[in-house]
Amino acid sequence: MNEDDLKQIFVNYLKKNNFCFRTEVGMLECRIDVVGKKKRKLYAYELKIEHWKKAIQQAILYQLFADYSCIVMYKENLHRLRIKKCQDLGLGVFSLDSKGHLSCILQPKKSTIINPSLYKRLTKKFE
């Protein structure tokens, strides 16, 4: 499984759960893998097969743009991710296996560091 496979499976999950979504959304100097919108709330998702440290760094940044920030990680490598650190940071964590089964490991907390102008920019991606 590669990151594109992970993304396709995750996007199918968002479709089934009535999210509007965009992929590879440019914000500042980064690209958010997937941004979901549901009930006027924005969710930023960083998808990783194995690079958990980078996933945490990127998901922290996404808290400036979105109501909720999450990491979606391939199940085989989830044991490497520091779940307690994610919890302390308010990040959500999802696990995805090779059969396409998605599990919520940790619910995200609402971001307390949203930058209003960046949030507005991200919201406009859905217009």
pLDDT at 55: 93
| Cα–Cα distances in angstroms (integers) from residue 23 to residues 33, 42, 115, in the given order | 5, 13, 21
Considering its fold, how many domains does the chain have in total?
A: 1
* CATH code: domain of residue 89: 3.40.1350.60
User: In the structure encoding, which two tokens stand for residue 18, read together?
Assistant: 């009535």
Q: Which residues, including other chains, have CB under 8 Å from residue 45's CB and lie 6 or more apart?
A: 10, 32, 33, 34, 35, 36, 69, 70, 71, 72, 94
Each residue's pLDDT expressed in tens, for the chain with a length of 127 residues: 788 888 998 999 999 999 999 999 999 888 999 999 999 999 999 999 888 899 999 999 999 999 999 999 988 888 888 989 999 999 999 998 878 788 999 999 999 999 999 999 999 999 8
* pLDDT confidence of residue 98: 79
Which residues constitute the domain of residue 28?
3-124
In 3D, which of 20, 69, 124, 60 has the Cα closest to residue 11?
20
- pLDDT value at position 96? 87
Query: CA nearest 123: which of 4, 31, 69, 43?
Result: 43
State the pTM of this model.
0.93
Contact 5, 25 (CB under 8 A): no
Q: How far apart are CA 102 and CA 75, in angstroms?
A: 9
pLDDT digits (tens, 9 = 90+) for 76-96: 888 888 989 999 999 999 998
